[in-house]
Amino acid sequence: EIVLTQSPATLSLSPGERATLSCGASQSVSSSYLAWYQQKPGLAPRLLIYDASSRATGIPDRFSGSGSGTDFTLTISRLEPEDFAVYYCQQYGSSPRTFGQGTKLEIK
Amino acid sequence: EVQLVESGGGLVQPGGSLRLSCAASRFTFSNYWMSWVRQAPGKGLEWVASIKQDGSEKHYVDSVKGRFTISRDNAKNSLYLQMNSLRAEDTAVYYCARGGWHFDLWGRGTLVTVSS
């Protein structure tokens, strides 16, 4: 099973700043099969990025994903108030599909 | 609007059973792998099971193998999760999700509580 470790656990930033969230895998993720999700309190997760760097339908271009192998990054270029939420990475290159523990992005 | 709506959650005693349903609308359900993902209270996300478009292939996380069964009825645009021998650690919000690997559409979830 591939274990995903997200860092930092909590990130405190202000609107307008740049956010960089990391996801490290215990083994190489096949074919960069990695996704990022955003979850707000009481709501279902929303797919942001798949295949490490492809934006999902309707996702603003301030969200970008990068990385390969064991190291992946989600970047939010300029934070908007609605971006403060919990973010999860997920690998689907091998079974079982696994999620990271999440990074909470909070307003500073 | 494209959506997934779960139902069937509730309170059940340890060792009991529950069947979750997910109704899909406004997309061609039979074209997609479908999955269940759960989230224990205050915790992260855990993939539970996935099923191929025609039901011929099913995948499960080890912790539910032999206890949970995923199924679908394409004529009714519905996905199901039969949960038997439930344990306290199965307590979670269960989400229906479109996709077999990454998940591009999610329902709002249904809460399953396993407690005596």
pLDDT tens-digit series, residues A74-89: 999 999 999 999 999 9
Q: Is A100 on the interface with B (CB under 8 A)?
A: yes
Closest CA to A9 of A81, A100, A90: A100
Strand ranges inside B1-116, DSSP E: 3-7, 10-12, 18-25, 34-39, 45-51, 58-60, 68-73, 78-83, 92-98, 105-106, 110-114
Q: Are A66 and A76 in contact (CB under 8 A)?
A: no
Closest CA to B100 of A2, A50, A68, A71: A50
Q: Are B110 and B93 in contact (CB under 8 A)?
A: yes
| Mean per-residue pLDDT over chain A, rounded | 97
pLDDT (mean) for A33-53: 97
Q: Are A78 and A16 in contact (CB under 8 A)?
A: yes
Whether the predicted pLDDT of A62 surpasses 90: yes
Q: Give backbone dihedrals phi and psi of A31, rounded to 5 degrees, phi first.
A: 55, 25
Which pLDDT belongs to residue B36?
98
Closest CA to A93 of A75, A73, A68: A68
* Residues in chain B where the model's pLDDT stays below 50: none
Angstrom distances, CA of residue B116 to CA of B43, B74, B81, B87, B110: 22, 36, 22, 10, 19
Whether the predicted pLDDT of A97 surpasses 90: yes
Whether the predicted pLDDT of A51 surpasses 90: yes
Cα A46 from chain centroid (whole Å) = 11
Whether the predicted pLDDT of A31 surpasses 90: no
Which pLDDT belongs to residue A84?
97
Q: Do B103 and A96 touch (CB under 8 A)?
A: no
Asked if the bond preceding B14 is cis, omega within 30° of 0, the reply is: no
The Cβ of residue B28 has, within 10 Å, a number of other Cβ atoms equal to 10
Q: Are A89 and A44 in contact (CB under 8 A)?
A: no
Given its phi and psi angles, is residue A100 left (phi above 0), alpha (psi -120 to 50 degrees) or beta? beta
Q: Helix (H, G, I), strand (E, B), or coil: what is residue B30?
A: helix
Q: Is A57 on the interface with B (CB under 8 A)?
A: yes
Q: Do B102 and A101 touch (CB under 8 A)?
A: no
Q: Using a pLDDT cut of 70, give the percent of chain A over it.
A: 100
Which pLDDT belongs to residue B72?
98
Which pLDDT belongs to residue B96?
98
Q: How far is B47 from chain A (nearest CA, A)?
A: 6
